Every structure is written in structure tokens, then in C-alpha cells.
Structure 1
Amino acid sequence: MIKRYLITDPSFYTSDATQFLQKLLHVKAKHQPDYVCLRDKENVSYKTLAKTLAKSDIQDENTKLFLHTDFALAHSLGCAGVHLPSHSFDQIEKAKALGLEVIVSTHTFDEACMAEKYGADAITFSPIFATPNKGKPVGLEKLKEINDKIKPKCFALGGIINEEHVKACEAIGVYGFASIRFFID
């Protein structure tokens, strides 16, 4: 079965740690993601939010907690891994040295190859379908090409908002799908 990767976004969650956790626990119970990534590039209280999630029931035997970009914080809080942006290939080895799983955002075949070369465990490849402010979708054909040519696990990302999209990605044979909007009530 295809793995589910929930990525948070501040426009759908609050910056209040208690409310954020309550909402995320509700979404987790409903959708049962295998991975959760705390992604919030603007929150000045990101560390507080990360600490709240790390102390909660978000990460358990069925769900791995990842932080976005900050591998040192992910390590110190006992998170399973870190999700790095596509320009951070040089950070992969540092994160791996701390025992973290590493997922890297990619948008081209060259980026996917770089992530593989530096030892990433997985990539997200995007955008597969139309998604706000993310450019022209690459489509399922390109996703299949990338998935078939690289060794790291591949998560489809971008515009995956319903079960039809999930099934289309699963039919290609990718390891999983990642989404923000799929996991929103």
C-alpha cells in the first residue's frame, strides 16, 4: 500500500502550539499518515512548535515525525528525520551522520540524481498535478520516469487532493504520496 506523507502548512494550521497539536492529532487519527513533516518557514516559534510535537503522540510506531530543514533540531528532539529543500544537497550527509532519515524535495531529474548521489533515503518529486503557485505540473509520466530511474524512495507531491490522485500515483509504483491539502478537513 502506498505510504502517506502529511506536510503541514501554516495557512491550514495555527501558530498556537496547543491548538496546532489538537488539530494535527485529529487529522492524524482521520488519515493515518505514515510520515508527518512540520513545515512552517515563517513561524518565529518554530522550535516551540517542534518541541510540542516531539513530546506528543504524533510520532509513534506507525508515524514518523520529520522537521523541515533544521536537521540539528530534528536530531535533538528525537524526530525520525528531516525534509530538506532542493538546494540543500550538502546537508544530506550531515543529517545522515546524526542518524536521521532524509527526504529531499526535487523538481527535476538532475535534482533527483543529486539527492541519490548524496545519500538521501527518499525524495519528493513535484508538482505532479496543478497546485497553487508551483508552476506547470510535470505529470504522471515524468513521475514514473523518475521513480523507475532512481534508488531512493519516491513520494509524489503537488496537487494530490483526492483518492483518484492517490490511486493514479500508486498505479505508477511510487513508494508514497506527500500532500498538504489531501489531509485537510
Structure 2
Amino acid sequence: MEYLDIVTEDGIPTGVTKERNSVHRDGDLHRTSHVWIAREDQEHGMEILLQKRSMNKDSHPGCYDISSAGHIPAGMGYLESALRELMEELGVHAEPEELIDKGLRRVRWQETFHGRIFRDNQVSRVYLLWKDVDISKLCLQTEEVESVCWMEYAKCFREVQENSMPNCIALEELRMLKQ
């Protein structure tokens, strides 16, 4: 079972922990870390690595998403969790100083997946990692990630804005990458 810290609006743990499924059932405020992997392409400019979520995920199955993201286990910090998720989901090693902190983003929404209400109420720390990874050499965590692809930043922004690809990407977060 995965336990999460219940946090304040600023993302500070309150001392209360709850099991992940209960957190999403009840809509408790918790933390996540989001890491966007980017590279510079001479022809297209900035490209970002997208992951396609596994069809077995409890939210947004089969949708394109952030390069690597995850809930922060109770007692762990944003940066430590971000580095762990990169390794677990993609097999990508990064040093703490390689992650560029792009700030906090407040997320709140509710949807039904697999016949159950899913309430997401989180404080997310967004990071940018400049790393030209060879996707054929990534070690994908198949329970989490179906596939990955590089996409031109402008194309991704447009497709998210027009909702022309299945995704759970926030335009606000894409904007944070360019700041």
C-alpha cells in the first residue's frame, strides 16, 4: 500500500498520512512531482518527451502525459521523488542539480474512471530536465507507461489546446516550461 502525506495549500506535510486510494476517494490535498524531459532540435526547436499512460492506470488510461510524474510517498521530498520516478518509470538517471525547478502548480479536478469517482487535489512541483535520451534505450515501467515519444513543443501545445490527441496535460504546465 502506498501512503501519502496530507499537505497544506503550500505543499507542507500536516503530519497526517493516508493510503493513496483513500486520498483520491476523499479528495485530500497531497503532493506530486512532475518532470518534463526536453531536448533542443535544430529543425524543430524544443522537443519534449511524452509518455503514453498504461491502459491499467487508475486515472487517464491511454492518455499522453508528462515525461515522468508521480505521487510523493509519505516522508519523501519533491526532488527525491522526482529522481526516483524518472528511474522507475523510464530508467533515466539524473543528478539533482540537473532538474530545473519551474515552480508549484495547484491541481484540482474530479472524474470517473473504471466506474469509480477519482478526486485529484494536489500540489505539484514542476521540473525541467534537458536530456537528449534515446527512447529505444529506455526501460519503461509497463504497469505505468505504454510508450514514449518525442514531440515538438509547439505541436504538443497546439494539440493539447485543441484537444486533438488523448492527453491529461495542462496548458499551464506547458507554459511553465517556457518561462
Q: TM-score range by the shorter chain?
A: under 0.3
Return the structure number with greater relative CO, CA threshold 8 A, min gap 6. Answer: 2
Using the size of structure 1 for normalisation, the TM-score is 0.27
Q: Which has the higher helix share?
A: 1
Q: Which has the higher strand share?
A: 2
Using the size of structure 2 for normalisation, the TM-score is 0.28
